[in-house]
């Protein structure tokens, strides 16, 4: 029987999703994310919200974890909001993912956990401005 990778990613993200106050200026963990790399590794991250907009989204935190471990090619992404629903990455996260790799437009993003409905990153950021740079 084939493993339900979306369930695995969802559960990994939920494990780290623990909303908490870090200081009077910073809260973390309200949103969590898990990414599956092309080589089959999973990295997680949580949002870090600050009073000065210097925070980081959960997806970018997971990507930073991935890059720290020497990888840069994403296969799948899931982001989970506080009530347990999955959500689509924000514009900044979409842009960040597009800039990672020439094939990033094919990243699969879970948008409905119950039905396992997904979209490709290219569907969320069509006609991306930077494609030509990968052609150089």
- Residue 61 sits in a domain whose CATH number is 3.40.140.10
Give average pLDDT by consecutive 10-residue segment, the chain, 136 residues: 86 97 96 98 97 93 98 98 95 97 97 97 95 86
The HSE-up count of residue 58 (CA atoms within 13 Å, CB side) is 30
What was the pLDDT predicted at 2?
A: 57
Count of structural domains, the chain = 1
Q: What is the enclosing helix (H) or strand (E) of 74?
A: strand 74-80
Q: pLDDT at position 1, please?
A: 45
Please tell me the pTM assigned to this model: 0.93
**Helix locations, the chain, DSSP H:** 5-16, 58-68, 91-100, 121-124, 131-134
What are the pLDDT digits (tens) for 121-131?
Answer: 999 999 999 98
Structural domain range at position 113? 5-134
């Amino acid at each position: 029987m084939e493993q339900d990778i979306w369930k695995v990613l969802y559960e990994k993200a939920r494990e780290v999703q623990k909303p908490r106050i870090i200081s009077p200026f910073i809260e973390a963990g309200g949103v969590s994310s898990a990414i599956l790399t092309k080589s089959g590794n999973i990295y997680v991250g949580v949002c870090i919200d600050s009073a000065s907009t210097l925070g980081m989204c959960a997806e970018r935190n997971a990507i930073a974890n991935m890059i720290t471990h020497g990888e840069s090619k994403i296969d799948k992404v899931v982001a989970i909001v506080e009530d347990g629903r999955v959500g689509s990455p924000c514009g900044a996260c979409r842009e960040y993912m597009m800039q990672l790799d020439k094939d990033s437009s094919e990243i699969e993003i879970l948008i409905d956990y119950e039905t396992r409905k997904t979209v490709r990153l290219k569907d969320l950021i069509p006609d991306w401005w930077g494609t030509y740079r990968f052609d150089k």
